[in-house]
């Protein structure tokens, strides 16, 4: 068998990295402006707690992680990714969409997304809120303020 295409290698590395399976030296600090943007979305949700992770930052609802932000070192530069949860047809759609989405090496309901400079922050906000909704109690979900479309 020949070598796999570079994109396949990249996707496999992103999947492994998102499950924190790389050496600590293969991660970098999350850019402050990206962390601030994701933090604003997450901490606007009821009862969310932010934690520093072994790599990056995690946001939890009642001890369950619904968003994880980390930066992975690649030879051509760092890549920041957000992992989150999804369900039903949206999960299948996101995982089948290709770049910037990928399947992390953990969780049957997990999705990873590369956050490039041109990221659509409205889409990120919707995905984070939906992720929160997959784990939060219904009482808390009813308190969520959704941004206008």
For 54, the domain range is 6-140
Judge contact between 114 and 123, C-beta under 8 A.
no
Task: Kindly report, residue by residue over 103-126, the tens digit of the pLDDT.
Answer: 998 788 999 999 988 899 999 999
Q: What does 84-116 look like in DSSP terms, one character per residue?
A: EE--HHHHHHHHHS-TTEE--SS-TTEEEEE--
| Within a domain: 148 | no
Task: Kindly report, residue by residue over 1-56, the tens digit of the pLDDT.
Answer: 444 556 777 888 888 887 766 788 888 999 999 999 999 999 999 999 999 988 89
CATH number at residue 12: 3.90.1150.30
Judge contact between 66 and 60, C-beta under 8 A.
yes
| Within a domain: 23 | yes
For the question of whether the overall pTM of this predicted structure is more than 0.85, the answer is yes
| Within a domain: 149 | no
| Within a domain: 92 | yes
Task: Kindly report, residue by residue over 50-71, the tens digit of the pLDDT.
Answer: 999 888 999 999 999 999 999 9
Does residue 145 sit in helix, strand or coil?
coil
Count of domains observed in the chain:
1
- The Cα–Cα gap between 76 and 51 comes to 29
So what's the pLDDT on residue 12?
82
């Amino acid at each position: 068998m020949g070598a796999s295409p570079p994109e396949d290698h990249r996707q496999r590395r992103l999947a492994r990295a998102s499950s924190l399976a790389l050496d600590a030296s293969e991660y970098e600090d999350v850019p402050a402006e990206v962390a601030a943007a994701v933090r604003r979305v997450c901490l606007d949700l009821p009862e969310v707690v932010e934690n520093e992770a072994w790599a990056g930052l995690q946001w939890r609802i009642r001890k369950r992680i619904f968003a994880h932000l980390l930066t992975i070192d690649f030879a051509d530069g760092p890549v920041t990714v957000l992992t989150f949860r999804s369900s039903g047809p949206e999960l299948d759609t996101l995982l089948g969409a290709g770049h910037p989405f990928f399947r992390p090496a953990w969780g049957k309901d997990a999705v990873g997304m590369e956050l490039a400079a041109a990221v659509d922050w409205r889409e990120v906000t919707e995905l984070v809120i939906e992720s929160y909704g997959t784990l939060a109690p219904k009482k808390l979900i009813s308190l969520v303020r959704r941004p206008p479309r």
